Amino acid sequence: MRELYARLKALYPLGELTEQRKNLAFVTVPAAHLRDTLLHLRDKEGFTHLVLLTAVDWLEEGQFQLTYLLNNRALACDLGLRVLIQRDTATMESIHDLWPTAATYQRELREMFGIDFPGSPRIEEEFILEGWNSIPPYRRDFDTLKYAQEAYAERPGRVTHDPETHMRLQMYPGQHPAGK
Amino acid sequence: MTTKPELMKRMVKGPDGLEFEVDPLRDYYCEAPPTVMPGAYIQIVEDFFNWARSKSLWILGFGTGCGAIEMRPLMTPRFDAYRFGVAWRPTPRQANLFIISGYLSTKTLKRAIRAYEQMQNPKYVIGLGSCTINGGMYWDSYNTIKKLDEYLPVDLYIAGCMPRPEALLAGFEEMKKIIRTGKAEGANQYAENFAWYKANQKRVIHDWDMPDYNW
Ligand code: SF4
């Protein structure tokens, strides 16, 4: 992994390498260099499989982090490329021409995070949700609980127990709930 | 209401070359809302009908949530639900018992409503698992309903997460009792409160693109 990182680093302005395991590492790439890096990894380094494309919402920093996880079958190792993009514009170049499967991930990201990938096939179509009428549900400023309470009728009388206290009462009745 | 393209009026060319107009909403669906089915002319006959109905529970094999996985062992020799006189059917037209087996996302709810409306009277609904009762562990989810009886008339709930096959078997026996005592009036309730049910359904299904009644 370190050698690969050294080879890549000579070509592209990469961030630090985060080694999760011997065969799994992550590295940050500027958005402008993503395509070249991906192409290089795919065609020259044997990372032929796009495992997944997913996002993290760094609300406080005003950024979305996209993770492109690639797999090298022969070496049985994974490399994740992280790209940080602006949260307010939330647009990224599409890579559906490198891996057709990316189009599906991009549709999902557009629906759940509101990240646009102009030119990606069927990007405008609904993916999982039907008739969604609020901000994209995976954005961290989307208040799931509030939405659920407002949108869906509830049956009164639902209570939530603290599991520890509840089990203590169940198993040792008579004992004070907080007793240690 | 936004209408799906396949539900729009259009010209169709028949196999004999003749062109004719098709209005799917009028030609393929019944526009009339469901009506209340009166009981038999005399109570003893109605009781007899109900006894007979309780002996034929035909379940629609439509699993909506994780609870559906507990229906499979019931169809196998280990639990063998068929000995209780219940059977599964692959189409709503041949079924009279709809088991909502767990959480319903709004997307599945739409299909469940269509399936329910296509079933023939008298028909019954069982809500299986806590998700159908009060949301269960999906109580704070952005796309699942939390109270099934707002959207479909439910005759019986089976609690648990998930209820074991034995609980379902007990539920079938309970359902039969309810039918025998003439209390399984879900279809009539649905017809009576049709507007209320439709309003509730449309409140959560934002892209309503089907006829109001799918019979
Ligand atoms: S009640 Fe439990 S098992 Fe049933 S659908 Fe909900 S989460 Fe799944």
Residue A14 CA to residue B120 CA, distance in Å, equals 65
Domain ranges in chain A? 2-123
Locate the chain A residue with the closest alpha carbon to B137: A160
Residue pair B157/B133 in contact by the 8 Å Cβ criterion = yes
Least Cα separation, residue A159 to chain B (angstroms): 10
Which residues of A are less than 8 Å from B142 in CB distance? 134, 137, 142, 144, 147-148, 151
Locate the chain B residue with the closest alpha carbon to A136: B142
Q: Which domains does chain B have, with CATH numbers?
A: 43-204 (3.40.50.12280)
The residues, ordered by sequence, that sit 6+ positions from A106 with a Cβ below 8 Å of its Cβ are: A53, A94, A96, A115, A117, A120, A123
pLDDT digits (tens, 9 = 90+) for B66-83: 888 888 899 999 999 999
ipTM for the whole complex:
0.83
pLDDT digits (tens, 9 = 90+) for A110-148: 999 999 999 999 999 889 898 898 999 999 999 999 999
- State residue A66's pLDDT score: 96
Q: Is B163 in the pocket of ligand 1 (CB under 6 A)?
A: no
pLDDT digits (tens, 9 = 90+) for A16-61: 999 999 999 999 999 999 999 999 999 999 999 999 999 999 999 9
Interface of B with A in 111-140 (CB under 8 A): 133-135, 139-140
Nearest to A152 by CA among B139, B62, B166, B175: B139
**A93 CB-contact burial (10 Å; exposed 0-12 / middle 13-18 / buried 19+):** middle
The CATH class of the A2-123 domain is alpha beta
Q: How confident is the model at residue A1 (pLDDT cuts 50, 70, 90)?
A: confident
More confident residue, B7 or A96: A96
| Residue B14 confidence (pLDDT) above 80 | yes
Cβ of residue B142 closer than 8 Å to a chain A Cβ: yes
Which residues of B are less than 8 Å from A148 in CB distance? 135, 139-142, 146
Residue pair A119/A125 in contact by the 8 Å Cβ criterion = no
Percent of chain B scoring above 70 in pLDDT: 99
| Residue A180 confidence (pLDDT) above 60 | no
Residue B73 CA to residue B90 CA, distance in Å, equals 17
Residue B160 CA, closest ligand 1 atom number: 1
Which residues of B are less than 8 Å from A153 in CB distance? 145-147, 150, 200
